[in-house]
Structure 1
């Protein structure tokens, strides 16, 4: 696999990631309730690190390079690189794939710039790399 694209995430993209997170209510544990709880915690962590107003750096063009071995994401000022097995807890949203890094940081792959073929390839690829769906 080799998917490479450059994209500028909009303020609306970031706001959709930092809105209030619905917390599951207490009740009898079920598979659905457990999944909702994991997702709520995952998204709460994401929103805790991002303000409602994205910083200038968050609005810079970013390039993603996704290969069989690596997740690479960079701007003209920052760079991030992970081997896929180190990224855990995959959450698929309508507009992004969210993954947890070894340090607990949430990294994203926006879906908007992906072609339908790239999105399908990535969707099939991620679970095969050890990421657990939430």
Structure 2
């Protein structure tokens, strides 16, 4: 099992007046950005700005494929995840971005673990150019 995703959350921006907060994306290798958010602005439970991230029951989660990663065909990143039980909970915003609302903590943890495992198991998802220079990705 990987780390509890909540201990990886690093606050990037907060506005106590509006109840808005943003956590930094968690980069998973050279393949995925894993964005977990919770505040009055997000589809979280509760939809509030809590100081203790462990107090949330559910989070808004966005998955994004990094530039240079295949997203179509046999080597496509999404194709490696489509059989996961949580996949239908996400809605595609674009070919490289998908979002889910109010995902329970256990589901978010499973998504995180599956992304880490997928990235390790499928190095072919990234282009040779991407692997040589992550600044291009």
TM-score normalized by the length of structure 2: 0.30
Task: Give the number of the structure whose residues are more often helix, by fraction.
Answer: 1
TM-score normalized by the length of structure 1: 0.30
